[in-house]
Each structure stands twice: as structure tokens, then as C-alpha cells.
Amino acid sequence: MSVLRFDNVSKQYPSGQNALSEVSFAVEAGEMLFVTGHSGAGKSTLLKLIHLSERPSRGTVLFAERNLGKVRGSRVALHRRDVGVVFQDHRLLGDRSVADNVGLPLLLRGLRRSDIARRVTATLEKVGLGARARALPSQLSAGEQQRVGIARAIVVEPALLVADEPTGNLDPTLSAEIMALFESLPERGTSVLVASHDLALVKRMKKRVLVLDQGRLVDDISPLELAE
Ligand SMILES: Nc1ncnc2c1ncn2[C@@H]1O[C@H](COP(=O)(O)OP(=O)(O)OP(=O)(O)O)[C@@H](O)[C@H]1O
């Protein structure tokens, strides 16, 4: 079953810039894939259409049968609860502890404090930050902050996780750790879509790769093709 489907999606910004042109693809439940392409190819725009910070100009984006072009008002926030998002710049709350940052999406969902504490602890363990729960984000390294951002995105066990250049400013060892973490998510039912311009990293992962060029989807490479 597809968790996400783009049908002939185009995005033109008000400036007139065509960021995406007639892009079509589907992501299956439990699939991990990359979207790559040069700077300006449309990667971030594609992710923005999924977490609704932008709307398609033409075509349809379906998330689990939800037509995202038609989601308005308070339903936007509800949709965002179903999609985990990892940003390049973490966007952590500086005056809250690591545990509070990770627990925030659960608090917004109205979970009991005891359940929140249990799930936050388990998720921090998973990203290797069990010992840093009480620290403030500013007391962590860039890689640790990135892992807090990932923990916050996966704590709700979303059907889909999207990540925009998640290893952008990390060293190769940390990048590999974060990729290993992403790779483990499909086993738990979360599909993972990662935008990255790091071709070496993308090739190493041997996953499906969507290639964008000036807003067009010019290639959709299967893991088997990459292995050849
Ligand atoms: N808010 C905006 N208003 C106008 N044009 C935009 C806007 N955001 C992006 N663009 C343009 O749309 C095109 C695609 O941009 P996008 O950020 O999606 O590319 P990208 O592949 O993510 O690039 P990068 O790797 O540099 O982040 C570019 O030409 C960009 O200049």
C-alpha cells in the first residue's frame, strides 16, 4: 500500500519560479528512499509539499488517501502529527531540556506524563542519547542536536519520516550512524524519505533514489540497479 503518492505535481512559486514540474512517484509502507539532485533541483520543495509548508500548483499529493492540496486550517496541524520531519537546522527549543524537546509532540497529543516519560526514554536510548536527557540543546554537539531532532520526529512513530539534508554538517562517522538509525525505522513500519545532495552517501546506502533536475523527476533508480 502506498503511504505517499505524487501524481503529476507541479509547484510554481509566486515569483514565477518553477520548482517542480509534473513529478509522479509513490512510496510504499516500510520503504526507505532518497531524493537527490543539484542545488535548486526542487528537493526541499518536494518535502515542503509533504509537510504542508507549501501547496502544489497543479497535480495531487496523497498521503494515506489524504489529498494534501485540500487540507486547510486546523487540519494542517493534525496532518503534521502524522509526518515526522527532520530539518537541517534542528529547530530545538533552546530553553527546554532534551527530554522536553523530544516529549513535546506527545504532550501536544495529550498523552499522560508517565507515558510521555516512558516513550521519551526509550526513544533517546534508540538514538544513543539516553544519558543526555536533562541537558539543554546548547550543551550538545551538532551531531547530538541532530539526533535530538530525529528523536522528536520519530517519538510519535509516524507513518512517514521526511528529512532534509539530515547529515549536512556532520562528519562521516556521525552521518553513518544517523543513516543506520533511519534504516532501522522501516522495520517498525515508518517509511523514510531523505533529501540529500551527497551522492557518495546516497550511493553507499543502496536504496531507491529519485533524481530531480530543475524540478523534473529524471530518474527513479531501484536498489537493484544501484547494486550493479
Ligand atoms: N519560497 C520561494 N520562493 C521562490 N522561489 C523559491 C522558493 N523556494 C525555493 N525556490 C526556488 O525553487 C527552486 C527549487 O528550490 P529548492 O529549495 O526546492 O531546491 P533544493 O533542491 O532543495 O536546493 P538546495 O539543495 O540548494 O537546498 C530553486 O530555483 C529555488 O530558487
Residue 84 CA, ligand 1 centroid: distance in Å? 21
The average pLDDT across 110-130 equals 95
pLDDT at 70: 92
Write down the pTM of the prediction. Answer: 0.92
How does residue 44 score in pLDDT terms, banded at 50, 70 and 90?
very high
Cβ < 6 Å from ligand 1: which residues?
13, 15, 17, 19, 37, 39-45, 197
Question: Whole-angstrom Cα distance, residue 208 to residue 137?
Answer: 33
Cα(40) to ligand 1 centroid in Å equals 5
Pocket test for ligand 1, best of 17, 39, 210 (most atoms within 8 A of CB): 17
Residue nearest to atom 7 of ligand 1 (CA): 13
Report pLDDT for 228: 66
User: What is the arithmetic mean of pLDDT over 144-157?
Assistant: 92
User: Which amino acid would we find at residue 5?
Assistant: R
Torsion of CA 195, 198, 201, 205, to 10 degrees: 30
The answer to whether the Cα torsion of 38, 40, 41, 44 is positive or negative is: positive
Q: Residue 1's pLDDT is what? A: 77
Among 9, 43, 88, 213, residue to substitute to test ligand 1 (most atoms within 8 Å of Cβ): 43
ipTM beyond cut 0.90: yes
User: Between vectors from CA 147 to CA 142 and to CA 151, what angle results, nearest 5°?
Assistant: 150
Count of domains in the chain?
1
Which CATH number belongs to the domain containing residue 23 in this structure? 3.40.50.300
Give the domain range for residue 142. Answer: 2-227
Q: What is the pLDDT of residue 227?
A: 66
